[in-house]
Amino acid sequence: MTGETLIPDTVILHVPFRIVKRGGRKAIALPDGASAPRRPDDALVKALARAFRWKRMLESGEFATIAELAEREGIAPSYMTRVLRLTLLAPDIVEAILEGRQGPDVTLARLMDGFPKEWEGQRESF
């Protein structure tokens, strides 16, 4: 040997993580202290977009009732009502969701179950 360093054929790398379910999807949970780049939750973003679009359509007078709009969209009025509630979220929470900065507990399923009407209460819950 002439001073060359030998490179092993196999390198073992240990990366601690666990797989958890969040909102019905599997996600990787990193160990405490580790941070991963955040990305927006597609289901939450889509639901917010729908909610604000439907709100705009109702406020413009294009549709007189939620039932009428729900029929046109081909969904149940009760589902539309639950999604429309997302328009009552505090602006900073909506912004955090759109930027992917929401906490791990902020899932579409959890929001659809209901949340406080007051913005301060929402901030405490999330």
How many whole angstroms separate alpha carbon 123 and alpha carbon 104? 14
Return the closest-CA partner of residue 116 out of 94, 96, 88.
88
Q: pLDDT 10s per residue in the chain (126 long)?
A: 566 777 778 888 887 888 888 777 887 777 777 766 678 899 999 999 999 999 999 999 999 999 999 999 999 999 999 999 999 999 999 999 999 998 888 899 999 999 999 999 999 888
